[in-house]
Structure 1
């Protein structure tokens, strides 16, 4: 059973990701990320500025699609796809976030290039119900 706090944390992450990655509204995104944001990703410079500066370097075609999202207390894990990122294939991500005082306070991720149907040994897509085109 999801508590009200866990439901609110999932909604916060979904709105934050849409605001930053899809809308590219950096001023609005600041309200979602703590000024003391802790970044564990090997692909991103430290802090909120590191994340925002990375997104600013990516093509305007960048799109984030959320998938499965789960919450446990102050932690949210979201499985999603980053497409239009300037790479030959989309990234499939499991983003793990810790929420504190109503903002994203800490982040870890696991990233993989999205496999095509021909590359998938399981015969199943990595995200959603269909393979990328």
Structure 2
């Protein structure tokens, strides 16, 4: 059975994030993000070059872990964790990606520092089943 458009786009976005953030394969990443890529994130420069330049400037310890990937038509929403970026806290991120013709063409995100057990009013972790370690004082 042929995958739906949503299933195909979901797999594409997960591959793109792994390719860029974990494998650091910039040549392959350029084939996954549109040359006319539109960036809405306040943390990333404009276009595909802004995204690639940011990633190249981050430590090689950067990692992306995905917890949830949902797709409907041309839109894919990811819930993930970025770690190893050189900041004191991991980032828990909701990414929204628009896919057209097999390319990532537009992106929005919501980024939040990962809370520790002591900070969590709900008593539940923001990502997965375990809390982030308490930051060093």
Q: TM-score per shorter chain, which class? A: over 0.9
Unaligned runs of 5+ in 2: none
For residues 84 and 35 of structure 1, what CA distance do their matches in structure 2 show? 27
For residues 129 and 76 of structure 1, what CA distance do their matches in structure 2 show? 23
State the 4+ residue runs in structure 1 displaced beyond 4 angstroms: none
TM-score calculated relative to the size of structure 2: 0.94
* Paired residues for 1:1-133 under 5 Å: 4-133=4-133
Q: Alpha carbon RMSD of aligned pairs, Å?
A: 0.8
For residues 35 and 113 of structure 1, what CA distance do their matches in structure 2 show? 30
For residues 73 and 89 of structure 2, what CA distance do their matches in structure 1 show? 33
Q: Offset at 1:56?
A: 0.7
SS at match of 1:52: helix
Q: Offset at 1:132?
A: 1.7
Q: Deviations over 1:19-78 (max 9, x none)?
A: 000000100111110000000001111000000000011111000001111111100000
Q: Offset at 1:127?
A: 0.5
Unaligned runs of 5+ in 1: none
Q: Offset at 1:101?
A: 0.8
How many correspondences in the alignment?
131
